[in-house]
């Protein structure tokens, strides 16, 4: 099944867990891994998902051993009886499982530091396949295992992404780098404010000049588009860098201010960096986005430096009490109106002492729409030093997609305003 030369080049991934064969769960560890392998110039040849059955798991490991040089296996390292990866690999290799007291001690300490007692099941996790190197897992109880022979490397990784990712970054990639590294040039353009086909038409003229080793992938979701550029640098790296930058810059020029990031940052990161750099502060008054705007902003570490407060004024009484929206205005124009969005932003800006205030009010659905004010109608407001703006938007999608697009539009209004101010000041 493949000559040695082919086998040597093949990298394969096995995800273990019956839940990953159900309709409810997608395996995502392989995406992270394949992204990281790109940095070494490697690609996966096979991905396999297998359940918790010991026999089927052993079968998958046996097949992988016959055809691949580097094998990653994620999952099945937990404390339960369903977790059989250690046993399966040991049996296929004909190796023993050896109890490792130091691992058990670490697990015990982990529990104790949280005021909890280790359970007997965790003992399973302290067994190590003979000959394996232990990969420490500071984010969970299951350590990884590294099995390297002259002909093959097998890496056992914990399934949860929060445990797998740091282990790949800190322990796996450094060990793999000695097998060769290829320079990959990469840019992730992030775009909001226009639809996929508009973007497509704008950049089409660039397509015919793409060199063969430059890959362009467009990923679109409501309110956000990504253009990923990846180029494997060839024999003349400097020339490649020039080509890559020329293409990237042509695309960025054609899209103008629709591009909010060329390095993959989220919109809340970009806006946060601008606020921090300018020493300006922000508050949010949300109705239909229901807290998502504050949630996105506060996902950024250190956001307390520029984010003062968010008021989720969901009911009309709350809009009146917290933001001083006049009851007559609510009665005459309705909560979902340009006027209410404007008052929400202006009054919060004044009350909070922030430099900027954003507001959202709209109909996230699925209920509550009328012919005059349909589901997806959202007003987004921005109050800034010296004035305010409100946009009327009609978003498509389900409730969560409408909430997301409302926050995306509000953040983008602020980004464009900050850019305008930067320009004026420079």
Burial of 195 (0-12, 13-18, 19+ CB in 10 A): exposed
Burial of 55 (0-12, 13-18, 19+ CB in 10 A): exposed
CA distances in angstroms from 135 to 78, 146, 208, 338, 346, listed in the order given = 15, 7, 46, 57, 54
Q: Which is nearer to its own copies, 131 or 139 (CB)?
A: 139
Site for its own copies in 65-124 (CB under 8 A): 67, 78-82, 114-116, 118-122
Query: Are 68 and 10 within 8 A, CB to CB?
Result: yes
Site for its own copies in 375-404 (CB under 8 A): 394, 396-401, 403
Angle, to 10 degrees, between the axis of helix 85-93 and the axis of helix 54-67? 50
Q: Which is nearer to its own copies, 130 or 400 (CB)?
A: 400
Determine if 372 is a binding residue for its own copies (CB under 8 A).
no
- Binding marks (x or -) toward its own copies, 140..159, rule CB under 8 A? -x------------------
Q: How far is the CB of 143 from its own copies (least distance, A)?
A: 15
Site for its own copies in 254-283 (CB under 8 A): none
Site for its own copies in 3-62 (CB under 8 A): 18-26, 28, 31-32, 34-35, 38, 43-51, 53, 56, 59-60
Determine if 419 is a binding residue for its own copies (CB under 8 A).
no
Among 182, 198, 236, 420, binds its own copies (CB under 8 A): 198
Query: Are 129 and 89 within 8 A, CB to CB?
Result: yes
Q: How far is the CB of 133 from its own copies (least distance, A)?
A: 25
Cα-to-chain-centroid distance, residue 164: 15
- In the chain, the N- to C-terminal Cα span, in Å, equals 65
Site for its own copies in 206-235 (CB under 8 A): 207, 215, 217-222, 228
Site for its own copies in 303-342 (CB under 8 A): 303-304, 307-315, 317-318, 321-322
Determine if 192 is a binding residue for its own copies (CB under 8 A).
no
Q: How far is the CB of 272 from its own copies (least distance, A)?
A: 13
Q: How far is the CB of 424 from its own copies (least distance, A)?
A: 28
Q: Which is nearer to its own copies, 38 or 133 (CB)?
A: 38
| b/e 352-388 (16+ beta carbons within 10 angstroms → b) | bebbbbbbbbbbbbeeeeeeeeebbbbbbbbbbeeeb
Query: Are 57 and 88 within 8 A, CB to CB?
Result: yes
């Amino acid at each position: 099944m493949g000559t040695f030369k082919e086998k040597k080049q093949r990298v394969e991934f096995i995800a273990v867990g019956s839940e990953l064969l159900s309709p409810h769960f997608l395996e995502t560890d392989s995406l992270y891994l394949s992204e990281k392998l790109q940095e070494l110039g490697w690609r996966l040849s096979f991905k396999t998902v297998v359940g918790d059955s010991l026999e089927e798991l052993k079968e998958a490991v046996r097949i992988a051993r016959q055809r691949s040089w580097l094998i990653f296996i994620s999952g099945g390292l937990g404390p339960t009886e369903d977790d059989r990866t250690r046993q399966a690999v040991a049996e296929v290799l004909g190796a023993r499982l050896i109890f490792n007291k130091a691992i058990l001690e670490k697990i015990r300490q982990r529990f104790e530091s949280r005021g909890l007692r280790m359970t007997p099941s965790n003992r399973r996790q302290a067994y190590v396949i003979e000959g394996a190197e232990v990969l420490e897992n500071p984010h969970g109880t299951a350590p990884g295992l590294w099995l390297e022979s002259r002909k093959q490397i097998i890496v056992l990784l914990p399934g949860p992404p929060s445990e797998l990712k740091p282990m790949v970054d800190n322990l796996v990639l450094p060990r793999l780098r000695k097998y060769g590294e290829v320079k990959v040039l990469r840019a992730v353009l992030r775009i909001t404010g226009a639809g996929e086909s508009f973007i497509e038409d704008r950049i089409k003229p660039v397509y015919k000049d793409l060199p063969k080793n430059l890959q362009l992938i467009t990923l679109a979701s409501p309110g956000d588009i990504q253009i990923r550029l990846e180029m494997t640098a060839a024999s003349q790296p400097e020339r490649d860098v020039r080509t890559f930058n020329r293409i990237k810059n042509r695309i960025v020029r054609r899209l103008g201010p629709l591009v909010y990031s060329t390095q993959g940052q989220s919109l809340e990161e970009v806006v946060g960096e601008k606020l921090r750099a300018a020493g300006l502060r922000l508050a949010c008054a949300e109705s239909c986005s229901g807290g998502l705007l504050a949630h996105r902003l506060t996902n950024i570490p250190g956001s307390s430096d520029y984010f003062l407060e968010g008021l989720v004024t969901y009911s009309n009484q709350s809009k009146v009490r917290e933001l001083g929206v006049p009851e007559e205005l609510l009665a005459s124009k309705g909560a979902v109106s340009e006027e209410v969005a404007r008052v929400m932003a202006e009054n919060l800006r004044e009350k909070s002492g922030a430099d900027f205030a954003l507001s959202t009010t709209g109909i996230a659905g699925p209920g509550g729409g009328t012919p005059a004010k349909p589901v997806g109608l959202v007003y987004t407001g921005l109050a800034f030093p010296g004035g305010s703006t409100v946009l009327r938007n009609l978003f498509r999608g389900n409730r969560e997609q409408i909430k997301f697009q409302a926050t995306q539009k509000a953040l983008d209004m602020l980004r464009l305003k900050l850019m305008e101010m930067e320009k004026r000041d420079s």
